[in-house]
Chain A
Amino acid sequence: MGVFALDCYVLILHGSNVLEFINGLSTNKVDKTCTTVFTTEAAKIIDMCEIIVKPDYVAIIGHGPYKQNVLNHLNTRILDSDITIGDATANNEVLLSTSDIEVGIGVTKIETFRGHIIIAPIGKGPSPTMTEEDFSNYRVDQMIPHQGHEITPDVHPLACGLGHIAHEDKGCYIGQEIIARMRSRNRQGRELVRLPNDEGEKPTTIGLTHCLEIRRTNNG
């Protein structure tokens, strides 16, 4: 398909227990580079983020409009931990490639369920080749949720297709009790579905022939 320019923030965290800190606040088991979700006590999404572990720091890549909410969430919980946060958003561009392409020196590339995420200094990344419409078609075809569409502060991770990054036995994190209860009772309320365009009632993303929608499940 190609390369799409994402609207992302790039936070750089330094400190001796950054991974432990992020692990305690998000859904996935964060002990290496991975995708995770920061959730509220009500298990509603604050943002889905890529966590990139580097030798000297940990980077958090999330959706631009949700940056301040994530910063507020992190800041109030740093307390007296040995953690500092830097904002490298202005220095970097973040792109998604649907295939594994070569990138230059100084460019970071990770494989995720969405595709290959590329973080490059401004002007050093590959040129975008996909339009917003192309990206929507790609996401609908692959059933990939995206911030601002399916991934919003109104839903919990299970409802928007992020159950695979809500680890089942990692232990406590904010919102964990609610997600565990929904799973154990098999009552997640809503789920992400892919439908023909003419069957969508409130589509969150519309593709050429199909759309994505978050629908109430039959089991409530």
Chain B
Amino acid sequence: MDCNTCEAPSTVVINAPEQIEVSLTISKMAKEMLENAFGDDRSQALLIGVLSGGCSGYMYDLQIVESTDQDCQELVVDGFRVLVPNATSHLLDGIEIDYQDRLMGGGFKIINPNASSSCGCGESFA
């Protein structure tokens, strides 16, 4: 394996998932919380990412950013700039961003019609 004279390993072809033009919605409660978070500065954007991992294989990643190096689709939803990475568009089309006001387990939640299951904490899905 360490032999430098060996042929280089052949690259495994990764079948990139199809990029989808994403549509998404923001619930009334989530909209109020985003208005609090953004204030009057609408130059920033909500980046909705997906990372591998978690109990179910994928984890949501929400960030407020000015820009990103990721190849993204930019949407304007209810006046908010929303960025969705093209690499994960197939996992995020049709989602609703919700906010649950609870002492435990509250916060932003993603209601995802593409998810066949999700873990107890709601952050991970498959």
A interface residues, Cβ below 8 angstroms from B = 10-12, 21, 23-25, 41, 52, 54, 59, 71, 75-81, 84-88, 90-92, 105-108, 119-121, 124, 172-177
Contact = CB atoms under 8 A, between A and B. Distances in A.
Contacts of B57: 25, 41, 77, 174
A54 B50 CA distance: 28
Given A85-B12, A91-B9, A92-B1, A172 B53 contact: yes
Interface of B: 1-12, 14-15, 17, 50-58, 70-71, 85-88, 117, 119-120, 124, 126
Nearest to A72: B15
A173 to B, nearest CB: 7
Given A172-B119, A177-B120, A88 B55 contact: no
Contacts of B8: 86
B12 A59 contact: no
Nearest to A86: B9
Chain A, interface SS category: mixed
B10 A87 contact: yes
A11 B51 contact: no
Contacts of A173: 53, 55
Contact of B11 (A81, A84, A91, A108): A84
Nearest to B124: A172
B55 A177 contact: yes
Given A79-B88, A80-B88, A88-B1, A24 B53 contact: yes
Nearest to B52: A77
A91 B117 CA distance: 39
Nearest to A106: B3
Contact of B3 (A21, A41, A78, A121): A121
A25 B52 contact: yes
Nearest to B119: A177
Contacts of B15: 75
A34 B53 CA distance: 19
Contacts of A175: 55
Contacts of A87: 9-12
B53 to A, nearest CB: 3
B1 A78 contact: no
A200 to B, nearest CB: 36
B55 A174 contact: yes
A108 B1 contact: yes
Given A80-B70, A86-B12, 9 more contacts: A11-B12, A80-B71, A85-B11, A106-B1, A106-B2, A107-B1, A172-B54, A176-B55, A177-B120
